[in-house]
Structure 1
Amino acid sequence: MASNATTLPPSDIPLFSTVASYREWRRRAYDEKKSVGFVATMGALHEGHASLVRRSLAENDLTVVSIFVNPAQFAPHEDLATYPRTLPGDLAVLQSLAEDTMSGTHTPSAVFVPTVHEMYPAGITQDVAAQRGTFVEVTGYSHQMEGRTRPTFFRGVATVVTKLFNVVEPTRTYFGQKDIQQALLLRRMVRDLLLSHPTPENLFIVPTARNPTDSLALSSRNAYLTPREREAAAPTLYAALDAVRKAWAAGTSKAECISTAHAIIKSKADDLAGDNIDMKLDYIEMNDPESFDVLDPCQNRAAWEADVADRPVILSGAMWVGKTRLIDNVILGNAQSLGIVAS
């Protein structure tokens, strides 16, 4: 039986708010020799999350979703207090999902909704210097790309995901390509820590879910955008990345590709300034998916492929639209070589 049922919204899916109650449920799955798929979320579920859950439903006997807004991955100046918390709506989304498989129709099997104290029994503060207890760092891979702007972010992500893997013990787990650095870093962490649930091969990356009209990457933070910001500004990041993709395919150097993206964003920002929409580029960069090292400015597609054969390039970027920070990425080359599953 799910714990704390009276303090959680009504749900047709079993809800577990403590590690002990979830583990009792998980032991039964072991005894019944059932595979468990896992999708870790911070809630505010949208179609991107739903695509991960559907993949898990299709490939596993049971599917577990966690909903936990993790304080350790927010810096003191970031939006922990205002991050959307929409548990009743999230449960409605999950209850609406089903996937027909060879063995019948699968629906989400359990939702893990722990408290902060349950996940951080020693306590937690957003100030890294004041934190006490056990934390996980993947050194050498956390300071590039997103880590350049958010230097403590991946420490918080690695810590909470290690905890979640220890609790959930998934057979397979699913992350979105929108957070490509996070997904690849976590796969490396799973390998380095010799985890068995999941193994590195069973950490799957699912292509980014996008708005079908303008290709904006779906994100919980999109809810922060005003209607005008959403319509006029938000799609610009993907447009810039797509222009780089085309230029790279045509043999343009990395430096020229990035310059093209900067020009697109600057032009759009100038156009919108009179509309009182503030749009500002954080970064656009091209990185090696193995080391996360930045490509040399003189590198072009032919030279890159001659050096590394089938290894692709991560083209990623971040941009501020008003007070909302948007991220996105495109894989230049063979995305499946990174374990990104086919759509």
Structure 2
Amino acid sequence: MRKYVVTFIVAVLIVAGGFLAWDKHRTPAADGEVVEKTPALSPQKSSQAEASGTTAVKGTVSESTTKNQDSQTSSNQPKSGEAGKSTGQTQTAKNVNSNNTDSKPSAGSKSDSEASAKGSSKTGGKTEFVNTYSVEHVVSNPESMNVLVNKTYRLPAGYVPPDLVYPNVPFTFSEKIDKRKMRKEAATALEKLFAGAKKDGVSLAGVSAYRSESRQTTLYNNYVKRDGVKAADTYSARPGHSEHQTGLTIDVSGSTGKCAAESCFAGTKEAKWLAKHAHEYGFIVRYPEGKDSITGYEYEPWHLRYIGTKIAQTVASRSTTLEQYFGSSIPVSK
């Protein structure tokens, strides 16, 4: 009898032990399922989020492309401009005399940049970016040779460059006035550019360089009175938004001044030489042909911007714009 009792007890212990062992392993197994699924779900969610983000960007780019095409189409319509604008040109430019001249500003897709991303605007540098006065940022690096000034990015109120000098080059006028001035580094580079052109049998003359904010205010208001805001904004910068105020920009022409700041300058040997060689001296044609939807301005083969040889050569080799070069890395004041 004792034998059966012992056998029964052993059997009970075995069954109880088996049950405990099953229960002990069951809980971790269930937890294990949850733990195993979590890592599997995380990448999936991340992937879905990335896919969603990509779709959103693509959608925006498509919309932007349409807008840009519309902008280019409308900008190709002849417009009235400064006194004596040429007609019959796909893109009309402004006529400028020695006392009444103007230029323009810029936007585009992200590329390499030497500007600091810290404190940068998040509105620029993408294909969907619209270069417009409806968004305005004050640049925090106005004295930098790399400063980007356009319809979105403006200079601090009343900004005056610190080292304006008179470059030793011929101008279409004889007076020693403000619009002859440029910042020292740009002026030195301009002298080399003029010398290089002369060596190649091309004689250049300056038309308009530095322009104060008050002078730009007068010019812009006159253009608005004559042509209206919409037309004026295609060829003239609003006060504070003009590259001329940086002291790094100059409008040039042939030595005779013929076609100075007019669309007919595009076909001259001077314009062709500038398009081919300006970057060698650190200058770029700031508002290239066909880029008005990015720069915000009509084609201006006479408008040169000093940016330094490294960036100038990159921009020229890629046939791009400053907006596209700098992307979203534009230091701005908060």
Question: TM-score by structure 2 length?
Answer: 0.25
Larger Rg: 2
The structure with the greater share of residues assigned to strand is 1
Question: TM-score by structure 1 length?
Answer: 0.24
